[in-house]
Amino acid sequence: MSELPGIVVTGASGRMGRMLVRLVVESAEARLVAALERPGHDWIGQDVGTAMGEAPVGVAVTDDAVEAFARAQAVIDFTAPAATVAFAGLAAQARAVHVIGTTGLSEDDLRRLAAAARHAPIVRAGNMSLGVNLLVQLTRQVAAALDEDWDVEIVEAHHRMKADAPSGTALMLGEAAAEARGVVLSDVADRGRDGITGARNRGHVGFSAIRGGDIVGEHDVIFAGAGERIVLRHVATDRAVFARGALKAALWGQDRKPGEYDMLDVLGLRDG
């Protein structure tokens, strides 16, 4: 039996799912043990490689998460909030690392993930690329250095099919700016301005979302002061950067204690 960590990819038919399947199959550091899809999906029972229109890989698509997770050391999950919460409980029972790239999670969802993390490691991030996580750190540093006379605006752009806004990455950036200023983001966030909104509130963090075409992901953090602006920017042109980060997180999580982690932990960028 291979000693390489066994990986389950959830939502195997999706864009990220397909990319993750390819990445794990090609990896010399991990092995694909299951490709998961929802009950009734027409891929169920097919070899996942064949279902993707490629060469067979010897792993059939399944809808049995319990059986799949029991054979895995890690689960990589870019699905939807309800599915992710359910998978978290099953991954915790299997003591498998749960790598979560799902966005749009509610406060209740996060509480349920925290409960699961008491039994197994969870690595969750709104964005798993190295560049974005460096941008989060830079945002935190700049926000800490500037007072509230500098307005913070976060502008993000994604493809037309993205279902949530602001993006998980935009919220990561907003959290970094808010934390650096010693405030709670939910207390100072301005989203979706429209109509006669009045003057901007001092110290607030603004968000704007653009959706169109096949934009992979673009994020600007604008610090606007009197007479000058600082703009921090990250542009992703290939979503493979997210898949590579997710696999790195799955490997990093092996033998970690139960708990909640993020990509700053994985990349060694955590302060202190």
Ranges of beta strands (E only) in 14-150 are 31-36, 61-62, 74-77, 97-100, 121-124
41, 159, 162, 204: which one is catalytic? 162
* Secondary structure of residue 6 in the 3-state scheme: strand
Is 204 assigned a catalytic role? no
Q: What are phi and psi of 14, to 5 degrees?
A: -75, 175
Closest CA to 142 of 176, 171, 119: 176
Tokens 């560049």: give the residue: 131
Maximum pairwise Cα distance, the chain: 65
Is 248 assigned a catalytic role? no
98, 158, 219, 248: which one is catalytic? 158
Q: Which residues are catalytic?
A: 158, 162
